[in-house]
A and B are shown apart, each in its own frame.
Chain A
Amino acid sequence: MGFADRIYRRFPTVLMARRNLTRTTLRSVLAALGIVIGVVAIASLGIMGATLQSGVLGSLGGIGNEVVVSPAANAGVESLNDRDVREIRRAATGSVTPIRSGQGLVTYGRQQSAAQIYGMDNPGEAYDAAEGRIPNPLRSGALVGSALAERLEISPGNSITVRGETYRVAGVVASQGGFSPVSPNSAVILPSNRVPGEGWNQVVISAETGQAANESAVAVREALNDREERVSVFELASITDQIGQVFGLLNTFLLAVGSISLVVAGVSILNVMLMSTIERRGEIGVLRAVGYQKRDVLKVLLAEAGLLGALGGIVGVVFSLIVGLVVAQVMLDDPLAVLEPGTAMYLPLAFLFGIVTSMVAGLYPAWKAANERPVDALRNS
């Protein structure tokens, strides 16, 4: 006995269901095709939505991982002192970079530009170099943001003049995405003692994950604002959360659109099952006559609907996977991104929807056939 035969011995309803479906192969295939389309619609729309979301969040960069601590201006605090920075370091996880900021004129050769000037001692903890290197700690020399470097055509090794003093450029800071209040793209970074002023204007905390950033923000608020308001904490994790929520809504909408095609597929299964139970009225009457309970007839017919759904579901999932690989390749340049759980989950989800739709559609014809009196089924067929 082959493997298939053993399965059939174990689940005889599946045997009957499968054989019944092959009786009108074309009709069964067309009914399953409806489910294929429905499953592909749901799965690929879901995958597209999820891919779009990860693409957009990816281009926002790690801004969700960043927390910026500023003096609480509305409470009259103008700058943060070293004690504040120590407390922030104690409370936060991740790297902590205090910044003293100002404005100034930057000159290279004959070109001039007004720029934001950041004084920081450990820029290497917060930023990467696009060219040259970022000394950590920064004791002498200057770092130039990528946009400014491009505008003034500055390369590492050049000498630039900032507020009338000359610095040698050690490196160009890699471009930062997002909309953090501290953006080095158009700024010059100098050692903190070269920027005039008392204390620090900002402290940037870079955490590993958005969640860690959020926890740091909470911890810093607790530690520094306990007795009186000392700092205001700006975090982007909540904004990226909101963006995520917007995409969640968008995805639900896409899935709802996809579900319409599955509903249509369900109607076609309903039609096919109804036709086939009417055609087989006499046979079903015989089954009832020879001792099949209503429930047994129901099982056989639901197994048929389930098989149609499973067949359509499997083919649909394969197609959706191909669609997903293409979409991920086009949008993210990484076809395998489709296998990430948040994206891939739409495949089993759509498969499940396909089967459930078929079974629900098969329920009425099966119920109708099971409840017909055998004597009527035998007389009128």
Chain B
Amino acid sequence: MAILEARDVTRRYETGSETVDALAGVDFSIDAGEFVSIMGPSGSGKSTLLNMLGLLDNPTEGTVLLDGEDVTTFTDKRRTTARKNTIGFIFQAFYLIPTLTARENVEVPRLLERDPETPERAAELLGRVGLGERVDHRPDELSGGQKQRVAIARSLINEPRVLLADEPTGNLDRETGRKILEEFQRIRDEGVAIVTVTHDPLLNEYVDRTVQVEDGKIKAVLDDPSEADGLR
């Protein structure tokens, strides 16, 4: 069974008299251990789809299923709990808290738990993404790639089964981007499902599947995207 599934999802925005379908009847699903990218031009609805999958937004029509359960009927509280237990987020702008050290930033999702093992686990995750030496540095003392790796460590602290990444390589140079994507592959190999939204054709070399979105609809699904650079 798919971990996350979107069935016939439509997201409609009303601005004044205009009605825009950011998503119009999209079906999408992802299994454990799959690495999928969603590609498309700006405004195609790919970020909206990611928000649906991340339980951050509710569809106007259609359903989103997490482990087969319809989450569109969840209360805010229950949805928040589901996000916490299942989903890790990585953002293009990193969104690290500038006054907290790398380790504290990684701890943030679990900070309110008062779990005495969290600091150790945060340091371990930072070691894993190659920042073992920089646990006590503040974000302004880290490079863009290092910040993104802190963000990856943060997304893993709750042991998610799904990782959602919005333009994870968007602010990084090519070399750093490759390192991040290799890290994603290792995470995928542990059985975590990864969905990224991206413009970056580099991802095609790493993902198992690419979903192309245009005008709120799925235009194509490529099962071997590394050979389809031109379709982007």
Contacts and interface: CB of A to CB of B under 8 A. Distances in A.
Instruction: Tell whether A and B belong to one assembly.
Output: yes
Interface of A: 9-10, 12-13, 15-16, 19-20, 22-23, 282-283, 285-294, 296, 373-375, 378-379
B219 interface: no
Given A9-B114, A286-B91, A20 B99 contact: yes
Given A283-B95, A373-B57, A375-B56, A10 B114 contact: yes
7 contacts: A12-B114, A19-B97, A19-B99, A20-B99, A291-B80, A292-B80, A293-B81
B97 A283 contact: yes
Contact of B109 (A10, A290, A294, A378): A290
A12 B109 CA distance: 11
Contact of A16 (B85, B98, B109, B111): B111
Most chain B CB inside 10 Å of its own CB: which residue of A10, A20, A289, A375: A289
Most chain A CB inside 10 Å of its own CB: which residue of B56, B81, B84, B109: B56
Contacts of B114: 9-10, 12
Interface in B80-113: 80-81, 83-85, 88-89, 91, 93, 95, 97-100, 104, 108-109, 111-112
B112 A23 contact: no
B84 A290 contact: yes
B200 to A, nearest CB: 20
A282 to B, nearest CB: 5
B154 interface: yes
B192 to A, nearest CB: 16
B51 interface: yes
Interface residues of B, number: 31
B56 A378 contact: yes
Given A13-B112, A289-B56, A19 B100 contact: yes
A99 B84 CA distance: 88
A291 B83 contact: yes
Contacts of B83: 289-291
B95 to A, nearest CB: 4
B141 interface: no
Contacts of A16: 97, 100, 111
Contacts of A375: 51, 56-57
A5 to B, nearest CB: 10
A286 B88 CA distance: 11
B76 A289 contact: no
Closest 5 pairs between A and B when the two form their complex, measured CB to CB: A291-B84, A19-B99, A290-B109, A375-B56, A375-B57
B158 interface: yes
Interface string B126-170: 000000000000000000000000000011001000000000000
B112 A12 contact: yes
A290 B56 CA distance: 10
Contact of A291 (B47, B81, B98): B81
Nearest to B100: A19
B112 A292 contact: yes
B186 interface: no
Most chain B CB inside 10 Å of its own CB: which residue of A282, A286, A293, A294: A286
B112 A290 contact: no
Contacts of B109: 290-292
B154 A290 contact: yes
A119 B91 CA distance: 99
Contact of B89 (A12, A290, A292): A290
A8 to B, nearest CB: 9
A290 B55 CA distance: 11
Nearest to A295: B77
B54 interface: yes
A289 B158 contact: no
B139 to A, nearest CB: 11
Nearest to A293: B80
B119 to A, nearest CB: 8
A293 to B, nearest CB: 5
A189 to B, nearest CB: 78
Given A289-B89, A290-B89, A291-B81, A23 B108 contact: no
Contacts of B104: 15
Contact of A287 (B56, B77, B81, B108): B108
A132 to B, nearest CB: 77
Most chain A CB inside 10 Å of its own CB: which residue of B76, B104, B111, B114: B111
B97 A378 contact: no
A303 to B, nearest CB: 11
A257 B111 CA distance: 43
B112 to A, nearest CB: 6
A293 B77 contact: yes
A96 B81 CA distance: 79
Given A12-B114, A375-B56, A282 B93 contact: yes
A378 B89 CA distance: 12
Contacts of A288: 80
B161 to A, nearest CB: 14
A202 B45 CA distance: 101
A296 B98 CA distance: 19
B151 to A, nearest CB: 9
A9 B120 CA distance: 13
Contacts of B97: 16, 19-20, 283
Contacts of B54: 289
Interface string B31-66: 000000000000000010001001011000000000
Contacts of B51: 375
Contact of B76 (A10, A19, A294): A294
A323 to B, nearest CB: 35
Contacts of B154: 290
Contact of A374 (B56, B77, B81): B56
